[in-house]
Amino acid sequence: MSLTLELMNWVLDMVLQIIRELLGKVTMSSEPVNVNEFKALAERALPKMYFEFYAGGAEDEHTLKANEEAYQRITIRPRVLVDVSRIDMSTRMLGYSISSPIMVAPSGLHKLANPEGELATARAAAASNTIMILSFGSSYSVEEVAASCNAVRFFQLYVYKQRHVAANLVERAERSGYKAIVLTVDCPRMGRREADIKNRMIVSKQKNVEGLVSTEVDADVAWLKSITKLPILLKGIITHEDARIAVEVGAAGVIVSNHGGRQLDYSPATINVVEEVVHAVKGKIPVIVDGGVRRGTDVFKALALGAQAVLVGRPILYGLAAKGEHGVKQVIQMLKEELELAMALAGCTSLKDITRSHVRTERDRCQSML
């Protein structure tokens, strides 16, 4: 009897130990330690159709993958004989102070990820002291998002041939306190997003365009400047030719973007063309880069190549899907903490200390072999 009891106690102890280990693994796996881990959490949280709507790209998704992979081919050259006891990541964008050069990219239909949608994202961006660019395709209206919290935010826009659509939205955004217009210029037609075709993804009605008819894009910066005093940034610039035109037409800034790999497949990864755009604008206007940012080291590399800030898109949606407003805060905070660490380890105490000499690209390596 004694032996049997001891055996039962041993088995019970073993079972409890296994349960504790399994619970520990569940706890660990449910608490992400980097931005990339939010993607898997979002995939578990969302219906397949919604997840693939957020995660997918155009056609073969070459550009989608290249946006991230290109960062991995850039190495950092650290300076170590530097006092890095204090690190300052703060900066300004169009005159507005932000805690770091990490901003929230415009992306549509946040309500598919969480019922609070863009309201939660806006509150998280405000709490992180950064700028959110509200999408034209927002689940909530410009007024609803503006009323959700007090913060600096920009509004992303498409201009249609029937200009009353854009004029209505610009007037509402300006009245609601938005500080800039971000005009997306790379969508004369929608890219072929095959995951959405297979899933028969039907996009719900968009609050900002209810009752407004829209047709093909007719981006006209001069017309926009005539109806608003807000600064206008152009999003979707990836060549020096278009960057020069942006300066000529009076853009207040350019965003190097391939629409997250959702438009023209086999267009270049954005980080690979940042320098081309930076050289073309010659310091006259700020350059922001969008696409593929998943680590603080990615932010560091973008700044070293001449960008003033980065936009983060899909990770924000993944954080929102996994953990709501708190998840968005976590994503931004993780990137900020990683950037701060990268700056310290590379010997940079402020953003102005991050220079071209701190990174080495594939092109640099090829030129060194000539």
Residue type, 177: G
Q: Where are the alpha helices (DSSP H) in 176-237?
A: 194-199, 221-227
Has 106 been labeled as part of a binding site?
A: yes
Q: How far is CA 117 from the centre of its chain?
A: 16
DSSP 145-171: HHHH----EEEEE--BSSTHHHHHHHH
For residue 356, the tally of other CB atoms under 10 A from its CB is 14
**Residue 99 is labelled as binding a ligand:** no
Q: Is 266 annotated as a binding residue?
A: no
158 is in an annotated binding site: yes
Instruction: Please tell me whether 20 is known to bind a ligand.
Output: no
**Binding site annotation covers 107?**
yes
| Backbone φ, ψ for residue 184 (5° rounding) | -80, 125
Specify whether the CB–CB gap between 101 and 308 falls below 8 A: yes
Instruction: Check whether 184 is labelled as a binding-site residue.
Output: yes
Which residues are catalytic, by number? 259
189-201: burial string, b at 16+ Cβ within 10 Å, e else: eebebebbeebee
Distance from C-alpha of 222 to C-alpha of 245, rounded to nearest angstrom? 12
367 labelled binding-site residue? no
- For 89, half-sphere exposure in the C-beta direction (CA atoms, 13 angstrom radius) is 25
The response to whether 293 counts as a known ligand-binding position is yes
| Residue 140: CB atoms within 10 Å | 23
- The DSSP symbol for 235 reads E
In angstroms, the CA 338 to CA 358 distance is 16
70 with 359: CB under 8 angstroms?
no
The two beta strands, 309-312 and 359-360, are unpaired
Is 123 known as a binding-site position?
Answer: no
State yes or no: 259 annotated in a binding site: yes
| Residue 164 assigned ligand-binding role | no
- Answer yes or no: is 353 a known binding residue: no
Judge whether 177 is annotated as a binding position: no
**314 annotated to a ligand binding site:** yes
CB atoms under 10 Å from CB of 269, counted, come to: 23
Distance CA 189, CA 184 (A): 12
Per-residue burial over 91-108, b = 16 or more CB atoms within 10 Å of its CB, e = otherwise: bebbeeebebbbbbbbbb
Binding-site residue ranges for FMN: 106-108, 135, 156, 158, 184, 235, 257, 290-294, 313-314
Binding-site residue ranges: 106-108, 135, 156, 158, 184, 193, 235, 257, 259, 262, 290-294, 313-314
Binding-site residue ranges for glyoxylate: 193, 259, 262
